[in-house]
Structure 1
């Protein structure tokens, strides 16, 4: 007998099949979309691998245990649905949990109801049955200074289509996207969109983990599947001994639906806002000046900082962050860890510089890389080996740094004392938390698998961040990892700001800025604006435009700029503050499609109920024209104003934009 469970949230409708086989999630659609005919994919809702219960395939789908699970009940409480399945032979109990927000957030809980044990080697957070793999996948690669590079591919180009009837098997191929190591976005992004080619349906997801993760697609007898998970054995050397006293919970994932790419990213934007933990201080959204990019580059001194502080205050910055090197007597890379101000850089003490920041009515901030201890730091000898990530009892050392294990009390005590001291002594209100060193596959300390040791450390890091903000509710923290190498919503659901790149070339930064809202909230996207004195007016403007459609993160030698250049900076901050007032309600769209790395024209729209901000970049020299297919409205230059070398007119096809400049240029427009 087959029963169908329809679970509808304000934004999403899910259909589950409950019969004498494993539970199956057979349909996901936007709640506003008509139901239509429900497909019946054969893919189980949960896939489980364990030692002794494997299958001969690299696929994470089609598992023996996943196929043996049977429905035992479900419960709906408030905005939460829990579906329970069991395998009678092993005593495995699986609970699939769904929480309704703007989409749904899902994870899997595994436990044993008998005396036995299972050595798990893979457990899905969620598996979605697809009616077809005749679809286009939008996904992104991510690397240092070349973040957010999105592409589109047909799933059928990577999944073989062979004859399917009772006498032929389904192709065993898969298309897999995997992130290894501790940089969750070091190579690829944990976000994707699948657009069905046959129907106006699109599915979007994100994996919310600050460490390794995996997703994959494959064809099945009656459609296909999307598998989402954290670490696995095959991909990440992860396993977990499951007993009656030792349960396991996967990393969470979010799922949304829409009709096309832009509607899915709008839904993901609303979902990120819904799952984000906000404190009153997060409503402030200050303009932060940071001394690093195209400025001091990790070499701060009192002499260099004091004029920068005055210039930043005069320009209108709210916070002033001193970046890397403030603690170093020489090399700032291998000496990290003690976090004491340098005596040679600050002859009269760091307090002199901090006092100037306070006196100029700005909040002081400091760069910190809390998770590492330099091999040349005195702290390296003071802390026990157990305070560090180890393999076979030896400290993991990567590029001159040891890696703290945040599960360890001594490691956390050292970091807590550091944070509390800097806040109490200097009134620090902002930290730029960086992370420039990867861990490798993990730690086997305590007898765990390498992947499980890393997962436990990842979760301990999140607990540590929560504890900091509980003790210091007015503290803002930026999430940085060599720019955006850990740009995930385990971190961003609890931190204030995300550095979107370390890219220093304004023209190369433009596609990074434009694509950022696909993976991070506009109000959390810290885009560097680092105008360089002496450059042409258009290049100076373009560097400022890059910061406006998000959180403008100001840098540059403001103290060396001409009055005309400083007036442009102040004008950009005024324009940015107008966007800031609307930003928490805006959702992204891309009139020219998601930007390509070498595109000549790039456009990003941030749309609200009554207003849109449209940022347009032209990255080639000489005059050029482009038509943006957007609804007609009242349009006005937002930044810069008073220039007439870009023109705008409406046609039947949309807004016709012409850049009449001899060099690359960019503009921000306001549409009502």
Structure 2
């Protein structure tokens, strides 16, 4: 390795891929530090006080056994570690692969013999920075890694004095039935304040203040989305990030040298019982994160991140067709399918224009007591006396592609499969299988597990011609198996290995079965992350059964998932009013349609409302979904807002706008994005003949709706 000839303060990298600029310089220990990440065409401020000019936060947040901290940041923090400051810059290399631009920054510590390669990626001209690290043990002994952050960057407050009063932090709650609900808090409210930072002396670079959000367990987005944002209150500076991992993760913000930093990554020793032992020559690669910086509003950052997420998607014919999916679960058969009930639904489903018919939970069970008996995935003969193959053939005869619900990662405690597979196939704790809610967790890092599930999927595809799977997951394990702890594999490392093996298994399935659609569902949307979504075709957004509450979820979900992947339920009911049935239909129209409900029981006028909604989706909406950018005229929806609105800005210049009135005044003003304020024509797309008074006004439009809970879908054209 050896030393280099660089000096403190040297700018060693000025990287200019399409869409953004990245500058890296060296701190006084010659560790690389990100000076700025800016959208193309923007320059860092020039009239900055020396207090703010150089955040100099080491890029690599790495911690190994026995190495603590050098600053006032404590062991609870992701930054300020001894090793991070000793990782001296060595060299860098730029790469280009088609429309993907890459940068590798290599740093080393001679004392321990560790090499860290920090990799950045930019797709095409989308100004979003993707980042991860790869650690290599170049010593002659073992090395225990306890943290490998994917990015640490200071200077988020952009040279702003009194920045703690100027910026706020955003987090997103994501609980079952209440997904993607964002909250804004001031920095002082989360314990971060710039008061007194100028008086730091004796070499202190920061206080102990920090604010963190983390997840531990198998449900990667249970409680919070793996996202965060920092915005300036004038709406002219926004940082937005996401962690792309389907397991445990953490991000934090805090003060550093009179500014704000963010650090983010996957599992750590402190939070998740994760550590990895590297033998000489071995490597470990952290999980990716994405960082978006716009000199604009949070809404613009979400739109930019939407474009970035599209670059992650595995190519699939589903994104070209965006078909309508009928699923027999929500407010319909609710896990109790039978041959008779399904036959009754087929003609109404076909008549609405659906292209998939998915049989949800229960198809494998003779009765409703199936929860802890899953795992064999053989169809019930009692529910389908004419034969399951005959039923699925009948679905195809109606022009519909059959789909099935499956929970491949678990085996019920009463299942015969729990006795057929070896103990190594399951998560273990102190020599015992881990039982959670009547299920055992399969370990996908084991070949026997992947082979078993391959045979299950192949049988259902080849024997029954299944073209769609809804992959569900309904337990949450805090960490992985301890079966290999005696060999130096931590439970956190075992968990990470399982998560990565599961993703690879899904990729292999899709490669083997061309055209197969696999939906990601985990108790609604409790794994709505872009490790899962870069592999699975689409995402269930919730299990919420109240259409008025669902409106807040459906409107917020484009913050977490691109419209062409985000599937929200539409489940009309005979007992509901026409206005309530319109609400449930509009909940699904600006994303992927998950149609459900007992369509066979609807009155003719109710059924016609459903058919019209699906016609609007097929004729007008779905061709725009793949490239549309979301916006929120009333701001991000809050759970009890009286009015909620979601818009999609299409590339042809038109706007699609869903508006829900849930309570309060029956009139609302909706500002439109500045670039679209010259639009002239408003069309009530759905329901076309229902009451709505709409007027274009300067900067937006006003809408007056009936004084009952209701919704309308508008198209606004040049």
TM range (shorter): over 0.9
313, 327, 333: which is aligned to 2:350? 313
Shift of 1:161: 3.6
- Tell me if structure 2 keeps the 8 A contact 1:121–1:238: yes
**CA contact under 8 A between 2:194 and 2:258: conserved in structure 1?**
no
Deviation at 1:34?
A: 3.6
> Aligned to 2:370, which of 329, 332, 349?
332
Equivalent residue number for residue 663 of structure 1: 708
Counterpart for residue 216 of structure 2: 180
Task: Tell me whether 1:511 sits opposite 2:552 in the alignment.
Answer: yes
User: Which whole-Å CA distance do the structure 2 matches of 1:575 and 1:237 have between them?
Assistant: 50
Provide the C-alpha distance between the structure 1 equivalents of 2:324 and 2:512, rounded to a whole number of angstroms.
24
Please state whether the residue corresponding to 2:543 is helix, strand or coil.
Answer: coil
Q: 1:305 to 1:198 in 2, by over 3 A?
A: closer
Task: Assess, with a 3 A threshold, how the Cα gap between structure 1 residues 24 and 362 changes in structure 2: closer, same or farther.
Answer: same
- Measure how far apart 1:273 and its partner are: 0.4
What is the deviation of 1:653? 4.3
1:13 equivalent in structure 2: 21
**Aligned 1:207-226 pairs, distance under 5 A:** 207-226=243-262
The within-5 A match list for 1:8-407 is 8-18=16-26, 20-37=29-46, 39-55=53-69, 56-78=74-96, 79-101=101-123, 102=126, 103-132=128-157, 134=164, 135-158=167-190, 159-164=192-197, 165-167=199-201, 169=204, 170-197=206-233, 200-258=236-294, 259-330=296-367, 331-407=369-445
The equivalent of 1:599 in structure 2 is: 641
Residue 370 of structure 1, CA deviation:
0.2
| Aligned 8 A contact 1:530 1:555 in 2 | yes
CA distance in 2, matches of 1:540, 1:129: 49
Match of 2:567 in 1: 526
- When structure 1 is superposed on structure 2, of 616-625 and 368-377 the one drifting more is 616-625
Q: What is the SS of the residue equivalent to 2:307? A: helix
Distance in 2 of aligned mates of 1:606 and 1:281: 20
**CA offset at residue 390 of structure 1?**
1.1
Task: Point out the more displaced range, 263-272 or 121-130.
Answer: 121-130
**Which residue in the other structure is 1:483 paired with?**
524
Give, in angstroms, the shift of residue 347 of structure 1.
1.2
1:510-542 deviation per Cα after TM superposition (whole angstroms, max 9, x unaligned): 010000000100000001000111311101111
CA contact (8 A) 2:130 2:291 kept: yes
C-alpha distance in structure 2 between counterparts of 1:595 and 1:638, whole Å: 22
SS of alignment partner, residue 617 of structure 2: helix
Larger deviation: 176-185 or 54-63? 54-63
Q: TM-score of the superposition, structure 1-length normalised? A: 0.97
**Which residue in 1 is equivalent to 2:4?**
none
Task: For 1:60 and 1:243, locate their aligned partners in 2 and report how far apart those are by CA, in whole Å.
Answer: 24
Deviates more, 1:148-157 or 1:396-405: 148-157
- Cα deviation for residue 162 of structure 1 reads 4.2
Following superposition of structure 1 onto structure 2, how do residues 582-621 of structure 1 map, counting pairs within 5 Å? 582-609=624-651, 610-620=653-663
Shift of 1:157: 2.3
Q: Distance in 1 between the 2:448 and 2:346 partners? A: 36
Would the aligned equivalents of 1:193 and 1:264 in 2 still touch at CA under 8 Å?
no
Deviation at 1:245, TM superposition (A): 3.3
Which stretch of structure 1 is more off in the superposition, 31-40 or 363-372?
31-40
Q: Which residue of 2 aligns with 1:464?
A: 505
Q: Deviations over 1:196-218 (max 9, x none)?
A: 34782211111000001000011
Cα RMSD (Å):
1.5
User: Kindly tell me: are residues 131 and 323 of structure 1, through their superposed partners in 2, closer, same or farther at Cα, counting changes over 3 Å?
Assistant: closer
Q: Secondary structure at the match of 2:708?
A: coil
- Indicate the SS of the match to 2:373: coil
SS of corresponding position for 2:470: strand
Kindly provide the CA deviation profile for residues 580-613 of structure 1, in whole angstroms up to 9, marking residues without a partner as x.
0111110111111100000001111101231110
Give CA deviations for 1:394-415 in whole Å, capped at 9, x if unaligned.
Answer: 1111010000000111111110
1:425 alignment counterpart: 463
Cα contact 2:235–2:297 (8 A) shared by 1: no
Secondary structure in 2 aligned to 1:104? strand
Q: Which moved more, 1:28-37 or 1:225-234?
A: 28-37
Return 5+ residue gaps in structure 2 as ranges: 1-6, 158-162
Relative to 1, partners in 2 of residues 1:621 and 1:178: Cα closer, same or farther, differing over 3 Å? same
| Rounded Cα–Cα distance in structure 1 between residues aligned with 2:596 and 2:244 | 30
Shift of 1:36: 3.3
In 1, Cα distance between equivalents of 2:641 and 2:137: 53
Stretch of structure 1 that moved more, 550-559 or 154-163:
154-163
**Distance in 1 between the 2:318 and 2:222 partners?**
29
Deviation string, structure 1 residues 19-54 (Cα, Å, up to 9, x no partner): 552100121121143443384112111111121102
Deviation at 1:279, TM superposition (A): 2.5
- The answer on whether the counterparts of 1:12 and 1:257 sit within 8 Å (CA) in structure 2 is no
SS in 2 for 1:445: coil
Query: 2: distance between equivalents of 1:18 and 1:396?
Result: 48
Q: Residues 235 and 378 of structure 1: is their aligned pair in 2 closer, same or farther, counting only changes over 3 Å?
A: same
Aligned residues: 670
What are the superposed Cα offsets for residues 167-213 of structure 1, whole Å, 9 maximum, x if unpaired? Answer: 37432011000011010101100122211347822111110000010
The separation in 2 between residues aligned to 1:592 and 1:560, in whole angstroms, is 36
1:440 counterpart SS class: coil
Please identify, of 187-196 and 3-12, the stretch whose mean Cα deviation from structure 2 is larger. 3-12
2-structure distance, mates of 1:545, 1:197? 32
SS at match of 1:407: coil
Structure 1 position 131, deviation (Å): 4.5
SS in structure 2 of the partner of residue 361 of structure 1: coil
Q: Does structure 1 retain, via aligned residues, the 8 Å contact 2:523–2:542?
A: yes
> 1:288 touches 1:320 (CA, 8 Å); kept in 2?
yes
Checking the alignment, whether the CA contact within 8 Å between 2:319 and 2:626 is kept in structure 1 is: no
Q: 1:360 to 1:166 in 2, by over 3 A?
A: closer
What is the Cα deviation at residue 224 of structure 1?
Answer: 2.5
Q: Which residue of 2 aligns with 1:550?
A: 591
Contact 2:181 2:556 in 1 (8 A): yes
Residue in 2 aligned with 1:628?
671
Which ranges of structure 1 fall in alignment gaps of 5 or more residues? none
- TM-score, normalisation: structure 2: 0.91
Cα distance in 1 between the residues matched to 2:526 and 2:265: 19
Q: Deviations over 1:227-285 (max 9, x none)?
A: 01000111111111123232100001111121111110011000000121112344221
Counterpart for residue 435 of structure 1: 473
Structure-2 separation of matches of 1:69 and 1:451: 25
1:647 aligns with 2:655: no
